[in-house]
Amino acid sequence: MSQPLNFTEMPGAPERPQDQFLNPEDIMYVRDLKMHFPVTKGLLKRQVGSVKAVDGVTFRVKRGQTLGIVGESGSGKSTIGNCLLKNVNITSGDIFYDGNNMKDINPRAMRRMRKNMQMITQDPFASLDPRMTILDVVCEGLRIHKQIDNKHEMEDMAIRQLEMVGINPDFRFRYPHEFSGGQRQRISIARALALQPNFIVCDEVVSALDVSIQAQIVSLLMQLQESMNLTYVFIGHDLSVVRYISNNVAVLYLGKIMEMTSSDELYDNPLHPYTRALISAAPIPNPIVDRARERILLEGEIPSPINPPKGCNFCTRCPYATKRCHEEEPEMIDVGNEHYVACHLVADRTGGKVENG
């Protein structure tokens, strides 16, 4: 079914592709994305294999909403974030941003586009230059993209950004080490917002913080989303945090999406055995409910993406795995209610139809 297209025109962008799956309400559409890193050996660096960090993921991110990507360490979630911002050259697949296929965009247009797409990472201490005052940190992007030439205007802008994220602008001549972890993350957010982006990848942004500070940062991100109509891809390993901020959640395992739906549906009606295991492992504040609930314990570690299992990626740890699971890869099926699952067991039980885009 062809949809009317009404995307933002971008100078330097190629002729608009008439892709039947593009939808104006999506700021991003990712189709069959693969990111394989070569594994080399010896002096001649002969390729002996590849790390399948991301192995055929398809998803959409709606404007003004948050897509959560949750998974264990090594599942490929941060690699997806880097692919979305074109920090790496993808192996195959398509990433459409505002209706434009990113692989067709020339470098000049890409530079302009970059200011609309920002990333906030887990470790603000590593990403903030210790020799720069936080005023310089916040102004850095404005300088690089030549957004404002006037020094005083730039300082006014930085003051506004710092106020917006809850940092006292009187501290603007201080250095990153003079702030706490939560404050440094606020400064990172101010820096990302200085260029007025519309799309932000938040990569494990609260993972290194105390629980109470995590809640403050998540709540700040939600307020900013509301006031600036921001779209987030929120990457994390804690399903309860990801669920709280996200409209939709994709559960990632070994470079593939296992289940994807709205965050409420995922929590109320998890279907994939991996999602059920993640939810059953998440702490619940009420000890009576916590004791009474079913637990699915996962044995072993996530396998190496250099040598993923044949069949279903989750078959080596799934308590329900059958012979078929070890031989045949499950397709992503639509079980209704915008709920997508890749599991033979769920497909047989629900009779869902194969998802095509």
Site for ligand SF4 in 287-316 (CB under 6 A): 312, 314-315
- How many amino acids of this chain bind ligand SF4 (CB under 6 A)? 13
- Pick between residue 114 and residue 324 the one whose CB is nearest to ligand SF4: 324
The answer to whether residue 273 forms part of the interface with ligand SF4 (CB under 6 A) is yes
What are the two backbone dihedrals, phi and then psi, of residue 190, each rounded to the nearest 5 degrees?
-60, -40
Polymer length of the chain: 357
Tell me the C-alpha distance between 332 and 305, whole Å: 20
Least distance from ligand SF4 to the Cβ atom of residue 222, Å: 32
Q: Which of 138, 90, 92 is nearest to 118 (CA)?
A: 138
The window from 191-199, 238-246, 282-290, 340-348 that contacts ligand SF4 (CB under 6 A) reads 340-348
Q: Which of 299, 301, 351, 337 is nearest to 321 (CA)?
A: 299
The answer to whether residue 279 forms part of the interface with ligand SF4 (CB under 6 A) is no
- Pick between residue 29 and residue 314 the one whose CB is nearest to ligand SF4: 314
Tokens of 124: 């603000």
- Pick between residue 95 and residue 312 the one whose CB is nearest to ligand SF4: 312
Count of CB atoms situated within 10 Å of the CB of 233: 26
The answer to whether residue 257 forms part of the interface with ligand SF4 (CB under 6 A) is no
The answer to whether residue 253 forms part of the interface with ligand SF4 (CB under 6 A) is no
- Pick between residue 52 and residue 186 the one whose CB is nearest to ligand SF4: 52
The window from 116-124, 204-212, 233-241, 338-346 that contacts ligand SF4 (CB under 6 A) reads 338-346
- Pick between residue 46 and residue 310 the one whose CB is nearest to ligand SF4: 310
Residue 256 pairs in a beta bridge with: 253
Tally of CA atoms within 13 A in the half-sphere of 150 that contains its CB:
4
With 0-12 / 13-18 / 19 or more C-beta atoms within 10 angstroms meaning exposed / middle / buried, residue 352 is: buried
The answer to whether residue 344 forms part of the interface with ligand SF4 (CB under 6 A) is yes
β-strands 256-262, 248-253: how paired?
A: antiparallel
Query: Which residues are near ligand SF4 by CB under 6 A?
Result: 272-273, 312, 314-315, 318, 320-321, 325, 330, 343-345
